[in-house]
Structures are given as C-alpha cells and as structure tokens.
Amino acid sequence: METWLGWPVWKLLGVGVLVVGLARRWPTGPVVLSAGGLTAWLAGMPLVGHQTQPGMLDTLGKAFVENRVITLYLLTLPAVGLAERMGLHTTMGRLMGRLTGVSLARLLIGFQMARVAMGALGLRLQGHVTFGRPIVAPMATAVLPSPAGEGAAKAAVAAAENYGNFFGQNLFPASAGCLLVAGVMKGAGYPVDVVRLALYAIPIVAVSLGVAAVQFVWLERQLGQRPDETADHATAPQDTRHG
C-alpha cells in the first residue's frame, strides 16, 4: 500500500487535470488552481507553510506578487483606450491607404524584424500592448480587402510579435535567457561565454524569420484571393481604407 501510494507517477495527475481542463475549455483560472492544488497535495505540501517547508498558499501568493511586473501593462490601457476613442482605427486606415506597397505580409514581416532588432538591443517589453493592439493590429486590418479576415490577421500580428520576441531576445548577450543559460551551464561544469551563446542563436532566428515569412505570405494570399466569397460573411461592411 505504501509503495503503491509512493509511486512517483501520481505527481503527474495535476498535469492530467491541466491538460484535460484546458482541452475541454473549462474556465482557465479554476483549472490552473485545481491542477496546482492537486500537485501540491500529492507532493505532500501543507496549505500554509512553516519555516522548513513552503506551503501551497505561500507559493501561490509569492509567485503572484513577484510576477506583478508581467501585468505592468495595465498602466498603459487607459491611454490606449482614449486613443481608440479619438478614432485611432480610422486614422490607421487612412495612413495605410496612403502608404502604397504595404501589404499584409510585408507589414507582418517588418513587425517581426523590428521586434528581433529590439531584442538584439536588449529591449524586452510587452509588445502586444505597446505595438500590437494599438499600432500594428489596426494597420493589419486596414490593408485587408474585406473585414472577414480580421480575426486571422490579428492572430497573425500576435504571432509575429511572439516569434520576434522569443527568438530575437537571445541575440542580446546580456539578455535574461543568455545569462540563465550561462549560469546553468557553469553550474553543470561547462562554463560558456554569453557572446558565443548570442552568436549561436543566429541560425534559429534566421529560420524563424524565413518560416514565418512563408506563413504570412500564405495568409495574405488566402485573405486576398476570395474577397467575394468572404464578403457574404462580413458582419461590419464598411472598409476603413476607403472611409
């Protein structure tokens, strides 16, 4: 009985709860919390910890408070909301109407390259909030031939931000990623140079730019090729480009 309960694979039950819950699209917060609670319980963690052992609530509260910086973007939302009330989307539409030769694919590729360049300079910021929602997403929807593809175009903007951010940041030798890798490798007895790490990151950055470019061009073709078909499903008929 004891050995059966001590079987280490039981710890994976929390992972199972998480996978099933997210796959069934149950509300994410409760799913994550119950997965965490189950894992903590199976690992023998107390609810409230003491000096020798951290508890489940302590870990939760500590992680939440220490990671507040992730949610710092809340301070920028009033400004973005006000800009939208001033007609940001219409303005972006007019801007894109004036810029000839800017297609959806070029916009997305350019955005990703800009984020890679920023990463190489060591600037890490919540690009979804600073650029994605207020600047690039309105530009992307403005160049669409019909509003039917808006969701896909916005999702592609989010993807371009992530591709550029994830892979670009490794090009900066003093980035959190490179420093972490150097620290772990030193601890394992294989000290590495952070500049070398940044140089070895180049091939994957190049591949990510190429693969993403193919995807963006494909999306542009998809959205551009059948404007008549998709126009029927359009909910908001006005096209901001001509507005």
Partner 1 sequence: MAEGTSVLARLVGHPATLEAAFALIGALLWGYAVQIACDCRRARRMLAAAYWFTLGLLFGFGAWLPHWVAGLLVVGLVAVEAAGGVRTQATPAQAIPAPSGEISAPGWRALWPVLTIPTVTFVLAGLTALAGGEVGRGAVVGLALGGLVAVGVALVVGRFSWPTALAAGRQLTEDIGPLHLLPQLLASLGLLFTAAGVGTLLADGVQRIVPPGSLPGAAVAYFLGMTLFTALVGNSFAAFSVITTGIGVPLVVAPFGLDPALVAILGLTAGSCGTLCTPMAANFNLLPVGLYGLPDNYAVIRWQWRVAAVLWPSHLIVLGLFWLCR
Residues in contact with 8: Cβ distance below 8 Å, sequence separation at least 6, in sequence order: none
Q: At what angle do helices 13-23 and 28-42 cross, to 10 degrees?
A: 170
Q: State which residue, 166 or 227, has the beta carbon closest to partner 1.
A: 166
State in angstroms the smallest separation of the CB of 32 from partner 1. Answer: 5
Q: State which residue, 133 or 145, has the beta carbon closest to partner 1.
A: 133
State in angstroms the smallest separation of the CB of 111 from partner 1. Answer: 13
Q: Which two tokens stand for residue 147?
A: 């509003």
State in angstroms the smallest separation of the CB of 125 from partner 1. Answer: 5
Block residue for tokens 């992680």: 63
Gap between the Cα atoms of 14 and 198, Å rounded = 36
Contact yes or no for 88/132 (Cβ under 8 A): no
Gap between the Cα atoms of 97 and 195, Å rounded = 43
Q: State which residue, 202 or 229, has the beta carbon closest to partner 1.
A: 202
DSSP 8-state code for residue 99: S
Q: State which residue, 106 or 124, has the beta carbon closest to partner 1.
A: 124
State in angstroms the smallest separation of the CB of 44 from partner 1. Answer: 9
State in angstroms the smallest separation of the CB of 27 from partner 1. Answer: 6
Gap between the Cα atoms of 119 and 65, Å rounded = 26
State in angstroms the smallest separation of the CB of 226 from partner 1. Answer: 19
CA proximity to 231, closest of 114, 125, 117, 146: 146
Gap between the Cα atoms of 122 and 43, Å rounded = 38
